[in-house]
């Protein structure tokens, strides 16, 4: 049995660089760095949030952790095993441990297959049980995600289900192999507010009841605050701040985190918020080792920011930030 303080997921130097197609006339290939030197750890039973805007690389991290894509550099340890090197049978066994829930409830299910077909597939692929056993597991998975009675839903097609119901089916599919680690990539962004709450609560309940660990990817800070124990803030491929949710939100260090938090609207007409200044400078091609990734937008940069890329520094207990100026004691 794993203890609750043990580290389940550990990424070291996670990097992903895409090479854009070279044509005969280009002198050199063009590169897009989606993720650069990302390091974080997720403890067993924790909900770890990766918060960033679109294009920040958060989805790429999720895809790499689930082996939908290969990292260009770095190592990813899950339960002590470097999963970036897995192949063949080992890879298939890994698939039982790590599952994923996607953003779009309309595209997450094959429109030509029934709920049963969709949820049973992982079992068929992994060769688990006989048909009766599989039928039971599917039924139970649907019950767990509160699609009750499951018999009503087993043979429906996706177009007969609402967005919230589809997302529950996706969750059931993710759970049917009894994984330890679930990567949720914006699972509620496309759902209505009142449905969102239901799915979020479901995910939290499942975490407690089933002992799951989550990587929760989102751009919505308010949702991240509700769901996550710890949060990592990612900007253009780099982790800029990392820490326990309440502390990070109450006392952010990195200018991007401050700007992000100050931009979140609050559902209260009487709440006032102080907005953080934001620049929009043009800066020549950024080199990840030479200067701070946030430089073009930072209102408080100094000379060192142009010369050196800041490292993640522990500013408080279990709270890290990568900024030269804010982390000066």
Residues 158-177 within binding reach of another protein (CB under 8 A): 162, 170, 173-177
- Classified as helix, coil or strand, 304 is helix
Q: Compute how many residues bind another protein; rule: CB under 8 A.
A: 88
Q: Is 78 in the site for another protein (CB under 8 A)?
A: no
Q: Is 278 in the site for another protein (CB under 8 A)?
A: yes
Q: Is 6 in the site for another protein (CB under 8 A)?
A: no
The phi and psi torsions of 256 (rounded to 5 degrees) equal -65, -45
Q: Is 296 in the site for another protein (CB under 8 A)?
A: no
**DSSP state at residue 280:** -
The CB-of-233 to another protein minimum distance in angstroms stands at 12
Q: Is 155 in the site for another protein (CB under 8 A)?
A: yes
The CB-of-291 to another protein minimum distance in angstroms stands at 21
The interface with another protein within residues 27-56 (CB under 8 A) comprises: 53-54
CA pair distance 131, 249, nearest whole angstrom: 49
CA pair distance 48, 207, nearest whole angstrom: 12
One residue of 35, 42, 147, 223 binding another protein per CB under 8 A: 223
The Cβ of residue 180 has, within 10 Å, a number of other Cβ atoms equal to: 19
The interface with another protein within residues 52-71 (CB under 8 A) comprises: 53-54, 66-68
Kindly indicate which of the ranges 13-21, 23-31, 190-198, 318-326 contains the residues binding another protein, using the contact rule CB under 8 A. Answer: 190-198
31 in Cβ contact with 18 (< 8 Å): yes
- Classified as helix, coil or strand, 53 is coil
C-beta closer to another protein: residue 41 or 126: 126
Q: Is 24 in the site for another protein (CB under 8 A)?
A: no
CA pair distance 200, 228, nearest whole angstrom: 11
The CB-of-193 to another protein minimum distance in angstroms stands at 5
Kindly indicate which of the ranges 15-23, 214-222, 302-310, 313-321 contains the residues binding another protein, using the contact rule CB under 8 A. Answer: 214-222
CA pair distance 235, 55, nearest whole angstrom: 8
CA pair distance 112, 90, nearest whole angstrom: 31
One residue of 26, 131, 311, 316 binding another protein per CB under 8 A: 131
CA pair distance 242, 279, nearest whole angstrom: 23
């Amino acid at each position: 049995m794993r203890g609750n303080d043990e580290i389940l997921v550990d990424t070291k130097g996670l990097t992903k660089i895409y090479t854009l197609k070279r044509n005969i006339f280009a002198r050199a290939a063009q590169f897009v760095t989606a993720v650069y030197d990302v390091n974080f750890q997720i403890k067993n039973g924790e909900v770890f949030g990766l918060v960033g805007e679109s294009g920040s690389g958060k989805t790429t991290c999720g895809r790499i952790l689930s082996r939908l894509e290969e990292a260009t550099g770095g190592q990813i340890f899950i339960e002590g095993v470097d999963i970036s090197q897995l192949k063949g049978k080992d890879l298939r066994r890994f698939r039982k441990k790590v599952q994923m829930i996607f953003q779009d409830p309309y595209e997450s299910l094959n429109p030509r297959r029934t709920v049963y077909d969709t949820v049973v597939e992982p079992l068929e692929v992994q060769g688990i049980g006989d048909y009766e056993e599989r039928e039971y597991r599917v039924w139970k998975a649907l019950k767990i995600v509160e699609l009750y009675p499951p018999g009503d839903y087993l043979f429906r097609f996706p177009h007969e289900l609402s967005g919230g119901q589809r997302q529950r089916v996706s969750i059931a599919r993710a759970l049917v192999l009894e994984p330890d680690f679930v990567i949720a990539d914006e699972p509620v962004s496309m759902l209505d507010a009142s449905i969102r709450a239901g799915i979020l609560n479901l995910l939290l309940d499942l975490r407690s009841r089933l002992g799951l660990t989550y990587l929760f990817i989102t751009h919505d800070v308010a949702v991240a605050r509700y769901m996550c124990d710890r949060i990592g803030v990612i900007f253009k491929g780099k982790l800029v701040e990392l820490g326990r949710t309440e502390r990070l939100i109450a006392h952010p260090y990195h200018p991007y985190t401050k700007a992000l938090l100050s931009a979140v609207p609050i559902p209260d007409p009487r709440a006032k918020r102080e907005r953080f200044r934001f620049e929009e400078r043009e800066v020549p091609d950024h080199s990840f080792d030479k200067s701070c990734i946030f430089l073009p937008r930072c209102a408080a940069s100094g000379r060192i920011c142009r010369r050196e890329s800041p490292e993640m520094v522990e500013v408080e207990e279990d709270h890290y930030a990568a900024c030269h100026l804010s982390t000066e004691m």
